[in-house]
Structure 1
Amino acid sequence: MTFDRLFTRTSALAAAAAAAAAAVLAGCASPPSHFYTLSPADDAARGAPTVASANPALLIELAPIDVPPQVAKAQFVVQTDASRVDVLEQRRWASLPGDEIRRALSGDLTQQLGTIDVYGSPRPEGVPVYRVSVRVQRFESWPDSHALIDAVWSVRSLASQQVMTCRSVLDEKVGTGYDALVEGHRHAVEALSTAIASGVRALAAAPQPVMTPGSKTASRPKPMPPVACPAAAPAESGAG
């Protein structure tokens, strides 16, 4: 066998080995991950946009949102039955669920109220600020069935310290597939934002405590009665 023939044969064997190795590696490669967000792709997804005034009548301050520890991860945690969940490595949130919910809520609330979310930002004097706190008690994903968010939320006037505390349970039926499941959670967040926006409006319209200048109790206004939760959010209401 001549050197040229030996070289050609060796090269062919090496190429075949490389192709076989590539095929093995391709077969062992992990399937691609898919990332999802609760924020609509554009303003059209929210309906007619409402532009916040340059000088809004009120401001909101939406605090970071608590979610149950078992779902506070990037991977989808889906229910298979009442006592079992699956963690899906290839289905992930673009950010942690608490951050996703907060971002979507902030966008919805500022649009519905025509205001600005000033959490973590300096705010002007003389403009009433309402602090919104949300604690998600259940964030359940049932593929091909429903998406559920059970949340306790509160709105507090930083001026009067008057507070409304409510609970909203949003249960959205979903179609087949994970896109439908994400869309169900998005609808649930939108319904939650509508309830909270109604709560902010109700608290803003409630009578404010009256303090008489020079009174010994001027620094301690009489506590105001709690404001009832919006009808759209059957809830537990009270001062806190």
Structure 2
Amino acid sequence: MKHAPLRSSPLRASAGLFGAAALVLAGCASQPDRYYTLASPTAPAPVVTAGAAPVFIELAPVAMPERLARPQMLVRRAGTTGAEVQLLEQHRWTSSLENEMRDALASGIATRLGAIDVTKGGRQLPTPAWRIAVQLRQLDAVEDSRVDAAFSWTVRRADTERSAACQWSASTPVGQGIAALAQGAQIATADAAQAIARHVAALQANPLAGCPNS
């Protein structure tokens, strides 16, 4: 007795395709978003001596190129050349980079100076605050290689129109992976906070002081 060959019905074929698509989507959904911070995990060494007069700082919002002003990390992949960069949707800062950078710099500068951040205070101070405006000019993250960062800033006491300007840049080597890039950006931000704090400390001692070497 001959049997007719088995044939897949359109319904069965559709079900198979749907199941395969569901597996692909499930695989994509299984990769969680990862979040990173620029805040330093350890307390930095102070740049002023203990017992000095109280210091107050006001840090303006950090200015930066529009391409960087987002929560997603912007990365140059290893081995690529030219102008190509990638926006990593699943690797993000804990907030927009402007806010993340301002919080990390304000905390780093205040801790190094033993200062109080009164940016959101709005109250009368016993001594004028140091007003700091920072511009992030470059933050170029190259996968498995380095983070190139460049900052410039101005510092002015609230009771004077005289201001002082400085700039700082560095290339921080990193290990493999996106997490290493985030750590490199964290280190670069901490080093920038160190340079700004040293500048404020120098201006406290001498209003005509130039930019520090570090």
The answer to whether the 8 Å contact 1:56/1:114 transfers is no
> How far apart, in 2, do the equivalents of 1:229 and 1:157 lie?
16
Q: CA deviation at 1:160?
A: 2.1
The answer to whether the 8 Å contact 1:199/1:230 transfers is yes
Equivalent residue, structure 2, for 1:27:
24
> How far apart, in 2, do the equivalents of 1:172 and 1:91 lie?
20
The answer to whether the 8 Å contact 2:35/2:91 transfers is yes
Equivalent of 1:63, from 60, 84, 100?
Answer: 60
- Please state whether the residue corresponding to 2:117 is helix, strand or coil: coil
The answer to whether the 8 Å contact 2:60/2:134 transfers is yes
Equivalent of 1:75, from 72, 76, 91?
Answer: 72
What fraction of aligned residue pairs are identical, expressed as a percent?
32
Equivalent residue, structure 2, for 1:173:
173
Distance 1:91 1:20, change over 3 A: same
> How far apart, in 1, do the equivalents of 2:131 and 2:44 lie?
25
- Please state whether the residue corresponding to 1:171 is helix, strand or coil: strand
The answer to whether the 8 Å contact 1:163/1:227 transfers is no
Equivalent residue, structure 2, for 1:231:
213
> How far apart, in 2, do the equivalents of 1:105 and 1:127 lie?
22
The reply to whether residue 155 of structure 1 matches residue 137 of structure 2 is no
> How far apart, in 1, do the equivalents of 2:20 and 2:45 lie?
51
> How far apart, in 1, do the equivalents of 2:69 and 2:134 lie?
15
> How far apart, in 2, do the equivalents of 1:100 and 1:23 lie?
40
Equivalent residue, structure 1, for 2:38:
38
The answer to whether the 8 Å contact 2:153/2:166 transfers is yes
The answer to whether the 8 Å contact 1:34/1:92 transfers is yes
RMSD over aligned CA atoms reads 2.7
Distance 1:197 1:204, change over 3 A: same
- Write the deviation string for residues 114-151 of structure 1: whole angstroms up to 9, x where unpaired: 11111121233331210011011111111111112111
Equivalent residue, structure 2, for 1:204:
204
Aligned 1:87-236 pairs, distance under 5 A: 87-207=87-207, 226-232=208-214
Higher relative contact order (CA 8 A, sep 6+): 2
Greater C-alpha Rg? 1
The answer to whether the 8 Å contact 1:175/1:181 transfers is yes
Equivalent residue, structure 2, for 1:84:
84
Letter in 1 for 2:121: S
The answer to whether the 8 Å contact 1:67/1:97 transfers is no
TM-score by length of 1: 0.72
Distance 1:82 1:198, change over 3 A: farther
The answer to whether the 8 Å contact 2:45/2:112 transfers is no
Q: CA deviation at 1:82?
A: 4.1
The gaps in structure 2 that reach 5 residues or longer are 1-14
- Write the deviation string for residues 180-223 of structure 1: whole angstroms up to 9, x where unpaired: 1111111111110111001111111125xxxxxxxxxxxxxxxx
The gaps in structure 1 that reach 5 residues or longer are 1-16, 208-225, 233-240
Q: CA deviation at 1:161?
A: 2.4
The answer to whether the 8 Å contact 1:148/1:172 transfers is yes
TM-score by length of 2: 0.80
